[in-house]
Amino acid sequence: MAETVYRATTRLLGDLRVEVNARQHTIILDEPKEAGSTDEGMTPVEALLGALGACKCIVSRAFAQAHGIDLKSVEVHLEGDFNADGYLGKDPEAKIGFSAIRSVYTFESDAPREKLEAFIEFVDKTCPVADTIINTPQLESKLVVKKPQ
């Protein structure tokens, strides 16, 4: 199968609010009021946790039957350790992004616990968002300058 190129466009709306568009879908990301914004959406790091959890849910559903597991429901709770002093430049020793991310899966299933634990290992290894976090892709940035009108 050929590589697929996914696209998203982001645009600062004011304060720290950002509109994110991908295909025909739009979400708003923002920062809390205590960070100087309007709290109209989740933060980008919360969205990252959400994307990771969503991917794990999708992989779970997509592969459960092939693993002989009947899943009635899937929920993944995620939490990440983040020290804002890293990206704010207040602590040069602090990591800029998450230092740890933890996932707790809740499966509604009659499958034995051992089988579900092995399935979680498979999901964690197969999730494209997790792979992108663990095996960082090349990042490239270009600049386009528009003159004020």
Residue 5: both structure tokens together: 């190129």
Determine the pLDDT at residue 149: 87
Q: Hey, what are 73's tokens?
A: 């429901």
Beta bridge mates, 42: 29
Give the pLDDT confidence score for residue 102 in this predicted structure. 98
Q: How far apart are CA 51 and CA 70, in angstroms?
A: 24
Q: Which two tokens stand for residue 126?
A: 């197969």
Q: State pTM to two decimals.
A: 0.93
> What pLDDT score does 57 carry?
98
Name the residue with tokens 């709306």: 13
pLDDT for 17? 96
Distance CA 108, CA 72 (A): 5
User: In sequence order, which residues have a C-beta less than 8 Å from that of residue 83 and are 6 or more positions away?
Assistant: 91, 94, 95, 99
- Residue 106: its pLDDT value, please? 98
Residue-wise pLDDT for 10-30, tens only, equals 999 988 999 999 999 999 999
Which residue is listed with tokens 């708003």?
28
Residues of the chain with confidence (pLDDT) below 50: none
Predicted confidence at residue 14, as pLDDT, reads: 85
The predicted pLDDT at position 61 comes to 98
The 10 Å CB-count burial string (b at 16+, else e) for 87-113 is: eeeeeeeeeeebeebebebebebebee
Q: What is the pLDDT of residue 75?
A: 98
Residue 109 to residue 115: CA distance in whole angstroms: 11
